[in-house]
Chain A
């Protein structure tokens, strides 16, 4: 267990370092000249270009730049945004919590809805309930998240706010502020849940279907257990385990969802920040969001693996 933990953490650390290196490679090496990329299609004076070069440290050799970048990244310094003219790390820090709030709420809801529907569907495979819920899930899964968001905000009209996180004129007390945020969150959360739950439903359903042929379920029935007990006590706990891993493996999808949903609803989180960075294009900012989003997903996966270790006795011993 300890050995595994050490190995896992070591692996995660290596992955994080690799993300940072990849960030450099993507945003400094591939573009050739980042300044050209950033000023593409805009009239820029040569003085401005020289200034930008100096600020990005492009006058040094690639090797030196790489070293500087690594040292800075290790200190938590992700460079300076070109558009905002502020440290990237500060910007990300401000925008982190709205995203955590949105993604957290949406994922929790999607997991509950998806797993419940998946279990019901699998247990009564081929029933009308199963056919309808699978069909709806497949359709939802086929929908681009942002399109659904746009449709929803058009359809609900003025019922819900369609941009931002709170109104500027809301009283500053905690209750009104919370209610205001919740009011703003309704549409983005519904949009994300609608697309993400389908994934969970399908995974849970097929994993339970696979479990349904297991011999230990016959044992359970032979013991005289009622059908719902066979399901609850024996089939679901086993089917849940592979589902948990898959759910976390698909966390990247949730992040993708966050980027487009925040863009549609102007939710001031990391997703919107990414969008702002890519429209610039503000390469230092985009680099920062890339490293943070990828790093977050890797960290979540390590956590998921540890949780899985605790849940599943078979791997716990190994």
Chain B
């Protein structure tokens, strides 16, 4: 019996993949992400980490691109190419961890708010609504100012402020699933909370959560770059945001040091765009309501 079930699941997964692959945007996004992730992973093997050390900067400040420094140097004379390459790691790690935190909180709150009913869920929903309206960047700024600087703080600040959107989505989806008669049937069969949530609600909600996750990563990476740009990042780590922070503080704009400005920003745009394209393609595949649209 289980063999048949597994075969069916494999077939379903394959069909989902085939449909996803038919969206050119999603496929391009996925390939882009794969390439960027690979580069980020291989950075320690392909590059020399000592070039990141300010005290051992190989060039002069604000050198334009040349044969030696393909993308010029920053305000301390380090290679912008090297910095951007290594910045990928921090931006991706922070974006992904913050998303995991955010999606976890959001899913728990969303399912709880929809499933149990009564005043606890009403309270949970008010709480969610409150945080949904609150400008998340302002809250994240407050959190990262009062907490000690570090990657952990950034992850916490982004994760703890970006969950309400997920919570609302999950709640709406849970409510939609629970309104379906098969939930009534499961209850009439004698199924309790654990059965209803585990067998019916979560399997139906998780695909949407997955879609939402890819879109949340995009938001989290922008948020990371913004916080770091404002100088709230980890001062010991190089990320795209912290590079732009340095560029802004040290007058890259007035010096017309475009080579210092363009690469880190372009990195953000490419990664965010790739995640967004993947997410949108997934959304059309997994969200039956959107079939045939977009």
Which chain B residues border A31 with CB–CB below 8 Å? 146-147
Partner of B141 from A154, A259, A297 at Cβ < 8 Å: A259
CB of B138 within 8 Å of the partner chain: yes
- Known contacts: A26-B146, A154-B256, A294-B138. The answer to whether A141 contacts B261 by CB under 8 A is no
Contact for B244 among A125, A150, A255, A274, CB less than 8 A: A150
CB distance from B155 to the nearest CB of A (A): 16
Q: With CB as the reference atom, state the residue of chain B lying closest to A19.
A: B134
Residue A256, interface by CB 8 Å: yes
Query: Would A301 and B133 be within 8 Å (CB), given that A142-B218, A278-B230 are in contact?
Result: yes
Flag if A255 contacts B277 (CB, 8 Å). no
B226 to chain A, nearest CB (A): 6
> How many residues of A are counted as interface, with CB atoms below 8 angstroms from the partner's CB atoms?
53
Complex Cα distance, B148 from A164, in Å, reads 32
User: What is the CB-to-nearest-CB distance from B221 to chain A, in angstroms, rounded to a whole number?
Assistant: 9
Q: How far is the CA of A289 from the CA of B231 in the complex (A)?
A: 18
Interface of B, helix, strand, loop or mixed by DSSP: helix
Contact A27–B135 (Cβ < 8 Å): no
Q: By the criterion CB–CB under 8 Å, are A256 and B269 in contact?
A: no
Q: Do the beta carbons of A147 and B268 come within 8 Å of each other?
A: yes
Q: How far is the CB of B246 from chain A (nearest CB, A)?
A: 12
The answer to whether A252 has its CB under 8 Å from any CB of chain B is: yes
A264 touches B138 (CB 8 A): no
Count of chain B residues near A, Cβ 8 A: 47
Q: Specify the chain B residue showing the minimal Cβ separation from A295.
A: B134
A284 at the interface (CB under 8 A from B): no
B73 at the interface (CB under 8 A from A): no
What are the interface flags for A35-63 relative to B under an 8 Å C-beta threshold, 1 for contact and 0 otherwise? 00100000000000000000000000000
Q: What CA separation (Å) do A264 and B264 show in the bound complex? A: 16
Does A66 lie at the interface of the complex (its beta carbon under 8 Å from any beta carbon of B)? no
Q: How many A-B residue pairs have CB under 8 A?
A: 144
- Assess whether B137 is interfacial by the CB under 8 Å rule: yes
Taken together as a complex, chains A and B put the C-alpha atoms of A145 and B272 apart, in Å, by: 13
Cross-chain contact A256 with B142 (CB below 8 angstroms): no
Which one of B130, B132, B146, B248 lies within 8 Å of A30 (CB-CB)? B146
For the residues of A in contact with B, the DSSP-based class is: helix
The chain A residue sitting closest to B134, CB to CB, is A294
CA distance A62 to B68 in the complex (A): 58
| Contact code string A244-257 (vs B, CB < 8 Å = 1, else 0) | 00000101110110
B96 contacts chain A at the CB level, 8 A cutoff = no
List, in ascending order, chain B residues with CB within 8 A of A105's CB.
none
Interface pair B273/A293, CB less than 8 Å apart:
no
Are A150 and B247 in touch, CB under 8 angstroms? yes
Interface membership of B258, Cβ < 8 A: yes
Q: State whether B230 touches A275 (Cβ < 8 A).
A: yes
Question: CB of B65 within 8 A of chain A?
Answer: no
List 27 A-B residue pairs with CB atoms under 8 Å apart, sorted by A's residue number. Answer: A19-B134, A26-B143, A31-B147, A34-B146, A138-B276, A142-B222, A142-B268, A143-B269, A144-B229, A144-B268, A146-B229, A147-B244, A150-B248, A150-B261, A151-B265, A154-B261, A206-B293, A206-B294, A209-B293, A249-B132, A252-B134, A255-B135, A259-B137, A278-B141, A283-B145, A290-B139, A293-B138
Question: Known pairs A139-B273, A143-B268, A144-B226. 12 more at Cβ < 8 A?
Answer: A139-B269, A142-B268, A150-B253, A151-B265, A154-B256, A209-B293, A252-B135, A259-B137, A259-B230, A260-B229, A281-B145, A286-B142
A-side interface residues toward B, CB under 8 Å?
11, 15, 18-19, 26-27, 30-31, 34, 37, 125, 138-139, 141-148, 150-151, 153-154, 162, 206, 209-210, 249, 251-253, 255-256, 259-260, 263-264, 274-275, 278-279, 281, 283, 286, 289-290, 293-294, 297-298, 301
